Amino acid sequence: MTPTASHSLAFVTGTSSGIGEALVRDLLGQGWRVVGVARRDAPIRDPGYTHLRADIGDLAALSALLESEVKPLLADPAVTRVGLVNNAALVALIGTVPALDPLQLPHIYAVNTAAPILLMGWFLRGTRPGVPLRIVNVSSGLAVMPLPGAVAYGNTKAALRMAGMVVAAELDAESGARPRDASVLSYEPGLVDTPMQTTARRTPVETLPVVQMFTDWAATGALVAPALPAREIADYLCTNGHPRWLEQRYQPDREA
C-alpha cells in the first residue's frame, strides 16, 4: 500500500472471515486504506488492503509488526482519520470451570484482552495530534451475562469492556486546552453467522451445557450476516460527535 492523497486509515484484527472480513470490504468501498491482521490469509484482494499474517497473542511479535509495518503508514501526513477495530478473539477453551486446563488461559487472555490493550495504547501514542481516532472493541453478550461453559471467553470480553471504559476515562482526564478527538465504542454484534457459532454448535453438551441454545438460534434463522454489524461499526468509524465512551448492541429492527 502506497498512500498518496488524503485518506482514512483503519487497523482491523481478525480479518480472515466473519465481521472482520465484512468490515474491511465495507471500509474499502468507502475509500479507506485498511491494514488487517489474522492468523490465516484473508480472501481480500484490493490495492487499498494490506494483510499481515500473525498471531496477535504473541505480544512481542505484534509490537514489532506495528513498528515495522504500520508506523510508517500512521505517520503519513495524508492520513486524516484513524480507526482501530479490536475484532479478533479466540473462542477456544470452551468448558466448565472444573474441566478447564488453566495452563491454556494465558494465550486466550493475550489474544482477547492483552493485545487489544496493547493496540489501544499504541494507536493513542502514535496517532498525530488533531487526527480523529475511533476505537472499536468488539464485545459480546457474554461480557455481562454468565453462560455455563464459556468462562474463558466471557471473562476476557468483560475485561476488554472494562479496558475500553478505562481508556475513555483517561482521555477525559487528560489536561490541555484542546481535548483529543478520540472515542471508544464497545460494540456487541449480537447473534452473527460466524465460525464462532459453528464451533459452539459442534461442542458436546458435556463441555458446553447450553449448546442447544446455539443450535436453536441457527435453526430458527436468528443469526444475521456479518455485513450487518460491520456496517454499524463502519458508521461509527466514519462519523463524529460521539461520546467519549459508548456501548452499542446490534438491533435487527434498525435495518428494517
CATH (domain of 84): 3.40.50.720
For residue 119, being part of any structural domain is answered with: yes
Q: What is the pLDDT of residue 18?
A: 93
The number of angstroms, rounded, from the C-alpha of 123 to the middle of its chain's C-alpha atoms is 14
For residue 101, being part of any structural domain is answered with: yes
For residue 199, being part of any structural domain is answered with: no
Over the stretch 58-109, which tens digit does the pLDDT of each residue have? Answer: 999 999 999 999 999 999 999 999 999 999 998 877 888 998 899 999 999 9
Grid cell listed for 217: 438460534
For residue 96, being part of any structural domain is answered with: yes
Say if residues 19 and 193 touch (Cβ distance below 8 Å). Answer: no
Q: What share of the chain is helix, strand, coil (3-state, %, to 5)?
A: 45, 20, 35
For residue 166, being part of any structural domain is answered with: yes
For residue 213, being part of any structural domain is answered with: no
For residue 200, being part of any structural domain is answered with: no
Alpha carbons 7 and 243: distance in angstroms, whole number: 24
What is the domain extent for residue 134?
A: 7-190+226-248
Q: What is the pLDDT of residue 172?
A: 94
State the total domains in the chain: 1
Alpha carbons 22 and 214: distance in angstroms, whole number: 22
pLDDT at 1 over 50: no
* Cβ-proximal residues to 247 (8 Å cutoff; 6+ apart), any chain: 139, 161, 185, 186, 187, 188
For residue 114, being part of any structural domain is answered with: yes
